[in-house]
């Protein structure tokens, strides 16, 4: 997180050092002494393993999802999204955890967050921290039809170590079967 101010400074210095004229300077490709050099682009974050054995995995966490047993059409049902910090990381208790489900005609979401019925969050009371390394977001819904479907959405989370905090936004997919 501390790299951003330096990256912004580098980009600003680069932009200020650029000529505003479109005319060639006669010294194409040469750099004036003392001119700012733009910082190298950061390497992209490594992709999570294709099959990590969990709903989602990151460098310092994994997520498991579980559907309440006995989910039936036209009855309230719950999906638990469990976040587990790994290694030297722990749950960031100050972060406003949030899951935003994609619209799905096979379910009615029952969220109470002001952002919408398909939004579940810590401020709305849907997040519960279990211990220093885990917490659960509970998604409340009612299946509108019998059968199988998939609930998808983005889970905004944060885990911290002694050195840094990471903010991640993995997309989750939860299989739902309503009898």
- Residue 101 forms part of a structural domain: yes
In the structure, what pLDDT confidence band is assigned to residue 2 with cuts at 50, 70 and 90? very low
Rounded to whole angstroms, the Cα distance separating 149 from 38 reads 48
- The alpha carbon of residue 167 and the mean position of all alpha carbons in its chain are separated, in whole angstroms, by 7
- Residue 50 forms part of a structural domain: no
Q: Which domain holds residue 172?
A: 56-178
From residue 21, how far is each of 12, 13, 70, 106 by CA, in Å? Answer: 18, 17, 69, 58
Helix residue ranges per DSSP H, 55-173: none
Q: Report pLDDT for 175.
A: 92
H or E element, residue 16: helix 3-17
**64-94: pLDDT as tens digits:** 999 887 789 999 999 999 999 999 999 999 9
Residue 102 or residue 29, greater confidence:
102
Q: Report pLDDT for 152.
A: 96
Rounded to whole angstroms, the Cα distance separating 81 from 65 reads 5
**7-65: pLDDT as tens digits:** 333 333 333 333 333 333 344 444 444 444 444 444 344 444 457 899 999 999 999 99
Q: Report pLDDT for 124.
A: 97
Q: What percent of the chain has pLDDT over 90?
A: 67
Rounded to whole angstroms, the Cα distance separating 79 from 87 reads 26
Q: Report pLDDT for 132.
A: 97
170 Cβ contact partners less than 8 Å away, ≥ 6 residues apart: 48, 56, 58, 63, 154, 155, 157
CATH of the domain at 142: 2.60.40.10
**How many domains does one find in the chain?**
1
How high is the mean pLDDT of the chain? Answer: 80
Rounded to whole angstroms, the Cα distance separating 150 from 143 reads 11
- Residue 44 forms part of a structural domain: no
- Residue 68 forms part of a structural domain: yes
- Residue 16 forms part of a structural domain: no
- Residue 171 forms part of a structural domain: yes
- Residue 26 forms part of a structural domain: no
**144-159: pLDDT as tens digits:** 999 999 999 999 999 9
- Residue 17 forms part of a structural domain: no
- Contact between 170 and 159 under an 8 Å Cβ cutoff? The reply is no
Q: Report pLDDT for 57.
A: 95
């Amino acid at each position: 997180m501390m790299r951003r101010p330096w990256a912004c400074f580098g980009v600003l210095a680069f932009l200020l050092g650029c000529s505003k004229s479109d005319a060639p300077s006669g010294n194409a490709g040469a750099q004036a002494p003392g001119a700012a050099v733009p910082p190298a682009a950061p390497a992209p974050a490594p992709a999570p393993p294709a099959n990590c054995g969990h709903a989602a995995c990151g460098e310092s966490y994994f997520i498991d999802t579980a559907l309440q047993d006995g989910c039936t059409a036209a009855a309230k049902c719950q999906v638990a999204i469990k976040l587990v910090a790994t290694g030297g990381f722990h749950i960031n208790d100050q972060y406003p955890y949030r899951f935003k489900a994609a619209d799905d005609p096979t379910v009615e979401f029952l969220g109470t967050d002001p952002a919408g019925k398909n939004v579940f969050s810590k401020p709305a009371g849907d997040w519960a921290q279990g211990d220093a390394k885990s917490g659960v977001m509970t998604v409340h819904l009612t299946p509108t039809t019998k059968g199988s479907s998939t609930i998808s959405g983005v889970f905004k989370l944060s885990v911290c170590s002694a050195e840094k905090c990471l903010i991640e936004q993995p997309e989750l997919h939860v299989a739902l079967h309503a009898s």
